[in-house]
Structure 1
Amino acid sequence: MLMGEFQHNIDAKGRLIVPAKLRDDLGENFVLTKGLDGCLFGYPVSEWAKLEVKLNEMPLSKKDARTFVRYFYAGASEVEIDKQGRINIPQSLREHAAITKGCMIIGVSDRIEIWDEARWQAYAKEAEENFDQIAETMSDFGF
């Protein structure tokens, strides 16, 4: 299970250290793609395969489904963790997430998310301020 919050800096070549605590669950290679809320999603290959099954079941007759699948796959890239524990994030993905220097890498169960540090801090502050209210609605999801 992927969990935790880690701060690292991306270098000028687009390389980012993947925290050691996340590397075993991610594997040597994993899939990085455009995520929601302005971040990147990183999936272990086994989780990506499960997601692909669901994406392939989406109805081609629905425009929103086609758009989502295209955008999600178009941004996807398989990345490899090098001997120094780094990945190289493609420029298009760095631009999508507005990543320039400080990054937050967070574990979210079956995936990681990579955020620009300032964007994550703003998002986390808002989530913290509304956490009790959000928690009350979780019963709608069977929690």
Structure 2
Amino acid sequence: MFMGEYQHSVDEKGRMIIPAKFRDALGVGFVLTRGLDNCLFVYPHDEWEILEAKLKTLPLTRADARSFVRFFFSGATECELDKQGRISIPATLREYAGLVKDCTVIGVSNRIEIWAADRWQSYSNDASESFASIAETLVDLNL
């Protein structure tokens, strides 16, 4: 399980250190792709396979399902950690997420999210103000 929030930076070559607490759970190889809310998602292979199986069940006849699957998979790339615990983030994904220098890496249960630090700050400020009301709307999900 991934949890916590860490501050890191992307270097001029597009490399970023993955927090040490996340490395073992990621394993040797993992998948990096576009996430929702203009961040990047990182999945260990076992979690990626579960998600992939679910996405395969979406109806091909629905335009929104086709669009989501195309967007999600076209941005996906296999990653490995280098000897310093870094990953290389492709330019297209850095551009999508607005990653220039400072970034925030968060653990979200079965995945890691990589955010541009300013976007995460803005998102978390907005979410923290409405956290209680969000929780109230989720009451129907038996949380």
TM (norm. structure 2) is: 0.98
Q: How big is the alpha-carbon RMSD for the aligned residues of Structure 1 and Structure 2?
A: 0.7
* Residues in 2 aligned to 1:105 and 1:26: alpha-carbon distance in whole angstroms: 14
- For structure 2, the 5+ residue unaligned runs are none
Question: 1:47-126 maps to which residues of 2 (within 5 A)?
Answer: 47-126=47-126
- Residue identity in the other structure for 2:121: Q
- For structure 1, the 5+ residue unaligned runs are none
* Residues in 1 aligned to 2:131 and 2:58: alpha-carbon distance in whole angstroms: 32
- Tell me the equivalent position of 2:41: 41
Alpha-carbon deviations, 1:57-105, whole Å to 9, x = none? 1111111111111110000001111110000000000000000000100
Q: Give the paired residue count.
A: 143
* Residues in 2 aligned to 1:3 and 1:47: alpha-carbon distance in whole angstroms: 15
Give every structure 1 segment of 4 or more consecutive aligned residues whose post-TM-superposition deviation is greater than 2 Å. Answer: none
TM (norm. structure 1) is: 0.98
SS of corresponding position for 1:59: coil
CA drift of 1:133 comes to 1.2
